[in-house]
């Protein structure tokens, strides 16, 4: 091991939908986190471990920081803040747009952090090059002293530069996890997330927010020949249940087929997936439900 081995937690933070989970997957080189064009996709902290000869990087994907109204939103923000408290270093992601009012509200708080901050301007594949320079200087003005890295989490441009900057700023420490570990999440949790991602993909408006997934049975006694999984998709109202099941069960069938493919890739095993849709009235407002679904402390 080199003398100055480095290791630490890096929190990926920012407003909803800026691409934190896409960046986590890109950094880790695996699909660990689910992503979607809908805001509030991520609901819990997720650890992704990257091993380098000179460093072990412990990335924390976090829920987008948003207005903490409602019990679920409050617990999302709490999860993000908890990751922040764990972090040795913060990577703050922004859209490739000039700083807005919200950024200005956050600025003083980010400055008060007593740990290094890196600003990432993500999604640069969506802006013309000449528009990038003024953006960089606008953020530089807001965060003097912080490295500013333009990047495309989707295509990978700028990711090597970000890695190098992070390694520079990490504390010297021996590795905290074994070199073959990728995350501390259970396969059960990652499975539930992959199902939820497929639901988000097929639904719109309030349904994505009203959905929670729980794996009730995960039978791996015949692995790798077969893993039998039974999962429940919870929604808040009967009407949502009808939409999710679809005409002659078509929607649920499509969700199940796609999710099964993803879960098989995750587990490296054949999967039999049984999906049920159940109504849990207003679960998002119910602290008991949030606890049962693993969404609160």
Ligand X SMILES: Nc1nc2c(ncn2[C@@H]2O[C@H](COP(=O)(O)OP(=O)(O)OP(=O)(O)O)[C@@H](O)[C@H]2O)c(=O)[nH]1
Exposure string over 128-162, b if 16+ CB within 10 A, otherwise e: eeeeeeebeeebeebbeebbbbbbbbbeeebbeeb
Does position 75 interact with ligand X (CB under 6 A)? The reply is no
Which positions lie near Mg ion, rule CB under 5 A? 20-21, 41-42
Judged by beta carbon distances under 5 to 8 A according to partner kind, the member of Mg ion, ligand X, none in contact with residue 154 is ligand X
Judged by beta carbon distances under 5 to 8 A according to partner kind, the member of Mg ion, ligand X, none in contact with residue 130 is none
Residue 240 CB, shortest distance to ligand X, in Å, is 20
Q: What angle do CA 223, 199, 122 make, to 5 degrees?
A: 100
Which residues have C-beta within 8 Å of that of residue 255, sequence separation ≥ 6? Answer: 195, 198, 199, 202, 233, 244, 275
In the complex with Mg ion, which residue's Cβ is closer, 71 or 83? 83
Residue 37 CB, shortest distance to Mg ion, in Å, is 11
Q: Decide: 234 and 213 in contact? Cβ < 8 Å.
A: yes
Structure tokens at 12: 């990926």
Locus of tokens 């002293």: 145
Structure tokens at 254: 């499509």
Question: Which range binds ligand X by CB under 6 A, 18-26, 135-143, 182-190, 267-275?
Answer: 18-26
Member of 125, 217, 219, 220 binding ligand X (CB under 6 A): 125
In the complex with ligand X, which residue's Cβ is closer, 55 or 93? 93
Count of chain residues binding ligand X (CB under 6 A): 23
Does position 16 interact with ligand X (CB under 6 A)? The reply is yes
Does position 41 interact with ligand X (CB under 6 A)? The reply is yes
Does position 19 interact with ligand X (CB under 6 A)? The reply is yes
Structure tokens at 121: 């301007």
Residue 283 CB, shortest distance to ligand X, in Å, is 19
Residue nearest to ligand X (CB): 64
Does position 39 interact with ligand X (CB under 6 A)? The reply is yes
**What is the rounded end-to-end Cα distance, in angstroms, of the chain?**
37
In the complex with ligand X, which residue's Cβ is closer, 55 or 77? 77
Q: What angle do CA 93, 102, 14 make, to 5 degrees?
A: 20
In the complex with ligand X, which residue's Cβ is closer, 8 or 19? 19
Does position 18 interact with ligand X (CB under 6 A)? The reply is yes
- Strand-pair category, 46-51 with 55-61: antiparallel
The DSSP element (H or E) to which 72 belongs, if any, is: helix 71-86
Member of 21, 56, 183, 203 binding ligand X (CB under 6 A): 21
Name the CA dihedral angle for 184, 187, 188, 192, rounded to a multiple of 10 degrees: 100
Member of 11, 94, 153, 290 binding ligand X (CB under 6 A): 153
Does position 212 interact with ligand X (CB under 6 A)? The reply is no
Member of 44, 122, 183, 214 binding ligand X (CB under 6 A): 122
C-alpha 92/C-alpha 136 separation (Å) is 14
In the complex with Mg ion, which residue's Cβ is closer, 122 or 251? 122
Q: Of 68, 48, 66, which is closest to residue 57 (Cα–Cα)? A: 48
Binding site for ligand X (CB under 6 A): 16-22, 35-37, 39-42, 63-64, 122-123, 125-126, 152-154
């Amino acid at each position: 091991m080199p003398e100055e081995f480095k290791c630490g937690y890096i929190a990926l933070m920012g407003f909803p939908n800026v691409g934190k989970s896409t960046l986590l997957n890109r950094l880790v080189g695996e699909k660990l986190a689910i992503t979607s064009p809908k805001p509030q996709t991520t609901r819990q902290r997720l650890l992704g471990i990257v091993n380098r000869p000179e460093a072990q990087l412990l990335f924390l994907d976090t829920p987008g920081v948003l207005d903490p109204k409602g019990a679920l939103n409050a617990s999302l923000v709490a999860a993000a803040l908890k990751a922040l408290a764990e972090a040795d270093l913060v990577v703050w992601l922004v859209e490739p747009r000039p700083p807005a009012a919200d950024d200005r509200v956050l600025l003083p708080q980010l400055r008060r952090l007593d740990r290094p901050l890196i600003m990432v301007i993500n999604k640069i594949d969506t802006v013309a090059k000449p528009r990038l320079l003024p953006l960089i200087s606008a953020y530089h003005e807001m965060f003097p002293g912080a490295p500013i890295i333009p990047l495309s989490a989707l295509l990978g441009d700028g990711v090597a530069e970000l890695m190098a900057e992070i390694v520079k700023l990490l504390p010297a420490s021996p590795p905290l996890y074994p070199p073959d570990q990728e995350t501390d999440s259970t396969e059960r949790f990652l499975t539930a997330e992959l199902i939820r991602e497929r639901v988000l993909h097929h639904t719109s408006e309030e349904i994505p927010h009203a959905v929670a997934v729980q794996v009730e049975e995960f039978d791996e006694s015949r692995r790798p020949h077969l893993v039998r999984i039974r999962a429940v998709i919870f929604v808040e109202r009967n009407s949502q249940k009808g939409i999710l099941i679809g005409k002659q069960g078509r929607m649920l069938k499509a969700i199940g087929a796609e999710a099964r493919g993803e879960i098989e890739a995750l587990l490296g095993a054949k999967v039999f997936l049984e999906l049920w849709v159940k109504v849990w009235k207003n679960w998002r407002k119910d602290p008991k439900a949030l606890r049962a679904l693993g969404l609160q402390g």
